[in-house]
């Protein structure tokens, strides 16, 4: 897929206030600092469409970006902050959950995982929750330029093994680097394939 245009549309904390034009949506979510903003900017070839934030918990909004006047790329807040209060965190999780559960145009959620880390409880729990709620998702491993290919294979294998304890089959898995743009075509082509089915 060629990205011809990418523009910010709207931010909010209520899925009911998201655009009502029915365009299909693809959401991106992950722990803060996983490389979500960098990936969104890499995919859309924009320097700062998504704000790369050094401060965990700063961008707690559902952000819609309109791509090619055809679909929305949805930047969801990072989950699992250590630095926000328990109350703020609960509210924050509820509105993301409400969006993921109720948002009809949402076709797929990309769960971002740091390729340098062993399987993380919070990510596994989030994906299990998606499974329970029947929210379709794919896994994107980020920052693969930061490790050797053998380390990457080892970490991917550990993740797959852990997932297969709970799942009969694995979701689509992508490996990416916002530095080298590795994985860009594969992710965009995957989105394009799903768009063809609607």
Question: Shortest distance, CB of residue 143 to ligand GDP, whole angstroms?
Answer: 4
Give the residue with the Cβ less far from ligand GDP, 1 or 42. Answer: 42
Give the residue with the Cβ less far from ligand GDP, 27 or 34. Answer: 34
Query: How many Cβ atoms from other residues are within 10 Å of residue 67's Cβ?
Result: 22
Distance CA 108, CA 164 (A): 20
Q: Which helix (H) or strand (E) holds 54?
A: none
Give the residue with the Cβ less far from ligand GDP, 33 or 105. Answer: 33
Give the residue with the Cβ less far from ligand GDP, 99 or 141. Answer: 141
Tokens of 120: 């993380």
3-state secondary structure of 162: helix
For 134, which DSSP code? T
For 166, which DSSP code? T
Distance CA 151, CA 164 (A): 20
Residue pair 180/145 in contact by the 8 Å Cβ criterion: yes
Phi, psi for residue 92 in degrees, rounded to 5: -60, -45
Question: Shortest distance, CB of residue 53 to ligand GDP, whole angstroms?
Answer: 6
Question: Shortest distance, CB of residue 113 to ligand GDP, whole angstroms?
Answer: 11
Question: Shortest distance, CB of residue 178 to ligand GDP, whole angstroms?
Answer: 4
Give the residue with the Cβ less far from ligand GDP, 78 or 80. Answer: 78
Count of all residues that appear for the chain in the document: 198
Question: Shortest distance, CB of residue 141 to ligand GDP, whole angstroms?
Answer: 10
Residues found near ligand GDP in the complex (CB under 6 A) = 30, 32-38, 52-53, 78, 142-143, 145-146, 177-179
């Amino acid at each position: 897929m060629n990205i011809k245009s990418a523009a910010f549309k709207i931010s909010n904390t209520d899925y009911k206030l998201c655009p009502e034009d029915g365009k299909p949506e693809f959401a991106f979510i992950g722990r803060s600092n996983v490389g979500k903003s960098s990936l969104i900017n890499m995919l859309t070839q924009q320097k700062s469409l998504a704000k790369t934030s050094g401060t965990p918990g700063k961008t707690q909004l559902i952000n819609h970006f309109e791509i090619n006047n055809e679909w929305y790329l949805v930047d969801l807040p990072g989950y699992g902050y250590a630095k926000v209060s328990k109350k703020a965190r609960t509210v924050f999780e509820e509105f993301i959950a409400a969006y993921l559960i109720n948002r009809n145009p949402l076709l797929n959620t990309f769960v971002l995982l740091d390729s340098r880390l062993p399987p993380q409880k919070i990510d596994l729990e989030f994906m299990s929750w998606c499974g329970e709620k029947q929210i379709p998702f794919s896994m994107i491993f980020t920052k693969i330029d930061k490790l050797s290919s053998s380390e990457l294979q080892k970490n991917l294998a550990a993740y797959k093994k852990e997932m297969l304890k709970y799942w009969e089959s694995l979701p689509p898995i992508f490996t990416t680097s916002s530095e080298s743009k590795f994985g860009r075509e594969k992710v965009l082509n995957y989105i394009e394939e799903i768009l063809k089915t609607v």
